């Protein structure tokens, strides 16, 4: 996930993040909401040795959303071409 992807999906992402990784506080989320690098720092602070696992989960979460968006676009294009 890059910085733009992180910012663009932050509101959806943070809800899922809190469900999956419940140690994050409201302050943690406020601290990292504008930066993927800050997010990684907060994850390191809260989860230490699980940081890589959280980062993989975040990347997978975004990748799944991106694939869903691509499928939606293709469906819209297909309907418009009929």
Domains and CATH numbers, the chain: 3-81 (1.10.1470.10)
Name which of 71, 73, 10 is nearest 39 in CA terms: 10
Q: Is a pLDDT exceeding 80 seen at residue 82?
A: no
Q: Average pLDDT of the chain?
A: 88
The Cα 26–Cα 7 span in angstroms is 17
Per-residue pLDDT tens digits for 32-47? 987 989 999 999 999 9
If one counts every other C-beta atom within 10 angstroms of the C-beta of residue 22, the result is 9
Q: Is the pTM of this model over 0.85?
A: no
- Give backbone dihedrals phi and psi of 41, rounded to 5 degrees, phi first: -65, -45
Residue 49 token pair: 């040795």
Q: Is a pLDDT exceeding 70 seen at residue 54?
A: yes
Residue with tokens 């994050």: 24
The Cα 55–Cα 72 span in angstroms is 26
């Amino acid at each position: 996930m890059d910085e733009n992807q992180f910012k663009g999906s932050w509101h959806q992402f943070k809800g899922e993040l809190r469900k999956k990784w419940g140690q994050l506080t409201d302050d943690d989320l406020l601290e990292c909401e504008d930066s993927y690098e800050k997010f990684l720092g907060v994850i390191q602070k809260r989860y230490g040795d699980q940081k890589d696992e959280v980062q993989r989960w975040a990347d997978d979460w975004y990748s799944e959303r991106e694939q869903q968006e691509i499928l939606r676009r293709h469906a819209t294009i297909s309907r418009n071409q009929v």
